[in-house]
Amino acid sequence: MPRGTIRAAALIETILAAAFEMDEILYELREHARGAQRRVAGITSSAQSSRSATGRG
């Protein structure tokens, strides 16, 4: 990226939002993003939160 270029990062903390909307988010950030990264810690905490909310955890 050339100097002065705006770089953007998007953190998605829910599993379903990431699955359905990552392509749209990357499209909107296409001039500023180089790719996507999946962080296991975020997915793990999201799964734990959803299990707790449904009474399964």
Looking at residues 12-16, what average pLDDT do you find? 69
HEC profile for 21-49? HHHHHHHHCCCCCCCCCCCHHHHHHHHHH
Q: pLDDT confidence of 55, banded at 50, 70, 90?
A: low
Looking at residues 5-29, what average pLDDT do you find? 73
| 1: CB partners within 8 A, 6+ apart | 7, 34
Residue pLDDT, tens place only, 26-53: 788 777 766 666 665 555 555 555 555 5
State the DSSP code for 20: H
pLDDT of 26: 78
pLDDT of 27: 83
